[in-house]
Amino acid sequence: MPLPPLVEPVAALSAAEAQRTARHLVLADLGELGQRRLRAAHIAVVGVGGLGSPVVLALAAAGVGTLTVIDDDVVELSNLQRQVLHRLADVDAPKVDSAVRVAADLAPETTVLPVRERLTATNAEALLSGADLVIDGSDTFETRTLVAAACERLGVPLVWGVVQEFAAQVTVFWSAPPAGVRPVVLSDLYPPEGVGELPSCAAVGVLGALCLQVGSVLAMEAIKLIAGIGEPLFGRVLLIDALRGRMSEVPLRGRAETSAAATSVPARPAVPHITAGALDDEIAAGAFVLDVREADEVAFGAIPGSRHAPLAEVLGRPDAFAAEGRVVVVCQRGVRAVRAAAALRSAGADAVVLTGGMDAWSAR
């Protein structure tokens, strides 16, 4: 549904800014008025990683007036596969420094306020206060929960996205939307009691190109809300399946409106787990251990007698392992093993997961 613009426009654009954003000024829905609203806007971006990087690039290029960029981390070499704001020369430097440099190169009239600080329960509201809109590009559900709670208290819209492996979700939460519009918040999508332990991208991986796509969608949602154009993803969740080249959406309504109408991401069926202490008994009873880590991980050590098949191979042909009796699936920490065991069980195998993976086995 169309929503009114979030901010009042500045009186005028400078001649240089008008020339730089000339292709925006001729857009029928955005135009010069919308561009002046972008110039007046203050957007807070939490995280300058895989999602925050393209968001900062897009919003600075779009002419957003002020960006508060919050991240306490430094650039690592493994970040460069997806965090396109940073360069090799930035390794070991604060991530927020990249945001300041790149935004200045793109749009000198955009002010970037770098905050090299970890967002916590005690400072979240203060860090986000003053922003017209917040974009969450953080990479842990704990931080996302803190950001969402602070936005709910502040009453500002939260443009929210998550990407993992080859899939992504994007939506907009808002606890205090315009009159006549019902609130939708994070707990409507992910009820606290149903979240459980979520894997990190370090554990399961993420496609770098997908981060660019999702970051672009996040920036577009912010632009629509600021300028009051189009139909933001408020009350809808955009689902992206990069491997199959599919984008779809599902409705999302506030639980206060009706719990039956609330749309949540369905949890995977439960997969049985065993402890590291029970592994010897499993092997003695005839089970075999399937190690689904990558070859470079296995090179550092493996459970004696285990069989190695990387996760992608197991997911690609689970039937090949289905007739081999009891299977104990192991990865480094247990996250990838859940996916493999679920696929094996769907193919008819009696598969269980070693809780805590190799880390737990090594620590026995």
Residue with tokens 């955005």: 30
Q: Which residues are catalytic?
A: 201, 331
Output b/e per residue, 12-44; b: 16+ Cβ within 10 A.
Answer: ebeeebbebbeebbeeeebebebbbbbbbbbbb
DSSP states along 56-111: HHHHHHHT-SEEEEE---BB-GGGGGT-TT--GGGBTSBHHHHHHHHHHHH-TTSE
Handedness of CA 169, 170, 172, 173 (dihedral sign): positive
CA distance 105 to 94: 18
DSSP 184: B
CA distance 12 to 154: 29
Helix (H, G, I), strand (E, B) or coil at 14: coil
